[in-house]
Chains A and B, each alone.
Chain A
Amino acid sequence: MKLWMYVVRRLLILIPTLLGLTFLMFILTHAGGTHILIAEYLNPRLPETAKNAATQAIITRFHLGDPIYVQYFYWLWPVLQGDLGFTITPIPLPVTTAIALFMPNTLMLTIVASALTWILAVPIGVYSAVRRDSVLDQGVRVSSFTLYSMPIFLIGFILLVGLGIYIQPAIGNVNPALLPQLRGTSWFDSTISVSYPTHILFFDAALHGYWNVAWDALVHALLPGLSLTLALLAGIIRILRASMLEVLDQDYIRLARAKGVPERFVNNLHARKNALLPTVTTFGYLVAGLLGGAVVIEYLFNYKGIGWWTTQAFYAQDVGAIMGSTFVFGIILVFTTLLLDVLYALLDPRIRY
């Protein structure tokens, strides 16, 4: 079947998957008792006197007295409309606004880390398999094995301590010394450290011509991105090397050599594409780890993304933020899985049937 038919089919499967996500979110928000939902939707800016009435309003709105399956629909409806409640970290905001402010940073971090991983992993993995047991191969194997065993915070911390001297200061989004020149500008909000319009400091500063701030923001994103890249690289190189070795044993590679195809083309044209297939599948599993790792790294580097927001919310017992960020991570993961499935279908002509 054609590729577009597969994409359409895959998109149709998206709907029940998203529905399943909403089920899970529903259970999370309602399993602990009604107080969780109430805390989530109670507007924090209300004065104490109004809180009682507001609580009652929430109870009626979500029909918290009714049986559980009825409650699902009353909960789902506001969610579909974009109302996910309120958060108090870092300042009182609707959850969706907070997500819109912080998500771009996390997206940039994870996308750049993924891109960098693939750019580096493919040549290294292929070369390592082709030059099997060479010095480079041994080195690659040992280092990827070690990196794979290291917890993500250790990778981040070692980078921070090791390279932080050269990339001072390495935490946060931007050098606090530069903040005074940004205060009073319309495009940077220093109370929550968020910039406009793209909410990614690097792009916004560049858009407004503040090149030193842009460069500073880029440098600040370097170490967090590098940590995530290293963590991903370890997993990807291992599977790529293993599947490349398996592919190189196959009959069709032998036939390609028997045809007189030069070795370079055997590796890059014939073998690599086949070896990428299980690698893309594995990457799908690793993305969940990547997103979790982003939370840890953002916490460590104080990098203002959704992960950082989640950890801050955790300390403050901010229900709206936790539920909101969980939901957002779920959506990111579901769509990333979709993208990877389509990518796999692009690479493997057999799957389109």
Chain B
Amino acid sequence: MATIYEKKGRYDDLKLSSKVFFANKSAVAGLIIFAIYLGIGLTMQLAPGLLGVQDAGLAANPACILQSPTCAGLLPTAPSSAHLLGTAQVNGIGDVDLLDLMMKAIRVDLALSFFIVLSGAAIGTVLGVVSGYAGGLVDEAMMRVTDIFFTIPYLVLALAVGFILGRTLENMALSLVVVWWPLYARYARSLTLSTKEMTFIEAARASASGRAKILFRHITPNVLPPIFVQISLDVGTILGIFASLAFIGFLPSTANVPELGYIANQGLTWGLIGYWWTVVFPGIAITLFALAVNLMGDGFRDVIDPRRRS
């Protein structure tokens, strides 16, 4: 029988964690859906021809405009055997296949979500850990700064920042990074503080020179797993948020980028109820993704929180 002093195999922890994760059926379902989205995104990035799509970066083919009046001005058509999800209207160009469009959009949206969350998390976590560890004036100052960001609702702040930067897709992502990092700074700071409480005694025993290194060695394993769970949850939330930003018209009509909220926004311009599929299907795509991510996040929480395992 193994005693507590016996060294664990290198991958024992990972195996146990995977067992716990895969025991949760809905988490696995979420993982599968998430993987499908990732697959679509990667295919669009690397080999769009595989799914019968040219030019993954544009929503509607601009060449079509030049061939007006056959292209421009056509109305969206309902789902049919030819177009599984129907067609949409983008940038004045009608009859764009919605399924193709959405697949292109998933690539863009996924990339942007990851970019926003990872950047915000990176900036925020570093600042939060430094602030929590340093304490004193640095900590106070950081708290005040993050407090200031919390005085305005995030969507409104993103609008304002985006307004200043300009109405492009990249600026939308940037403004959301600006809005999002304080959350991570706060969260990382509180995690650091609680870890600091625990390991302080050990640190007191360590030599003064090694203290910083040892503390970081102790802090990171306690701070990173919950942050990772939060990142995985936020990816879904952020996608919904910036789709909503695009929906209310952040991107100008001429933007012609495949983005789920933008597609929905364009779908509104031609009368609300009549062409519902142009709004509903992108919305469902967003919902499915958020669902998958939330389920996965629950699974991750099961892994890192020992209480939930029993």
Contact = CB atoms under 8 A, between A and B. Distances in A.
Q: In the complex they form, do A and B come into direct contact, defined as C-beta atoms under 8 angstroms apart?
A: yes
B280 A289 contact: no
Given A153-B244, A296-B244, A326 B157 contact: yes
Given A151-B283, A154-B284, A154-B286, A315 B249 contact: yes
A343 interface: no
Contact of B153 (A151, A311, A329): A329
Contact of B287 (A20, A24, A151, A326): A151
The bracket for how many chain B residues form the interface is 35 or more
Contacts of A323: 160
A28 B244 contact: no
B148 A23 contact: yes
Contact of A326 (B152, B291, B294): B152
B161 interface: yes
Interface in A132-158: 145-146, 148-154, 157-158
B151 A153 contact: no
Interface stretch (B10-18, B83-91, B217-225, B271-279): B271-279
Given A17-B151, A146-B287, A164-B273, A28 B160 contact: yes
Contacts of B157: 326
Nearest to A311: B248
A160 B272 CA distance: 9
A65 interface: no
Tell me if A's interface is mostly helix, strand, loop or mixed.
helix
Given A24-B148, A149-B291, A160-B272, 16 more contacts: A16-B144, A20-B144, A21-B151, A145-B294, A149-B294, A151-B247, A153-B264, A154-B287, A164-B273, A171-B272, A289-B154, A295-B155, A299-B249, A322-B160, A322-B163, A326-B157
29 contacts: A16-B144, A20-B144, A20-B147, A20-B148, A24-B149, A24-B151, A31-B164, A32-B165, A36-B164, A146-B287, A148-B294, A149-B240, A150-B283, A151-B283, A154-B279, A154-B280, A157-B272, A157-B283, A160-B272, A171-B272, A289-B154, A292-B153, A292-B156, A314-B159, A314-B163, A317-B163, A326-B157, A330-B151, A330-B153
A288 interface: yes
Contacts of A291: 153, 155-156
A295 B156 contact: yes
Interface residues of A, number: 51
A324 to B, nearest CB: 11
Interface in A150-175: 150-154, 157-158, 160-161, 164-165, 171
A292 B151 contact: no
Interface of B: 144, 147-157, 159-161, 163-165, 236, 240-241, 243-244, 247-250, 261, 264, 268, 272-273, 276, 279-280, 283-284, 286-288, 290-291, 294
B273 A161 contact: yes
Tell me if B's interface is mostly helix, strand, loop or mixed.
helix
A333 interface: yes
A290 B148 CA distance: 19
Contacts of A333: 151-153
A44 to B, nearest CB: 18
A288 to B, nearest CB: 4
Contacts, number: 147
Interface in A214-263: none
A82 B147 CA distance: 24
Nearest to A30: B164
Nearest to B274: A161
Contacts of B279: 153-154, 157
Contacts of B264: 153, 157
A310 interface: yes
A334 interface: yes
Given A149-B291, A153-B247, A296-B248, A288 B160 contact: no
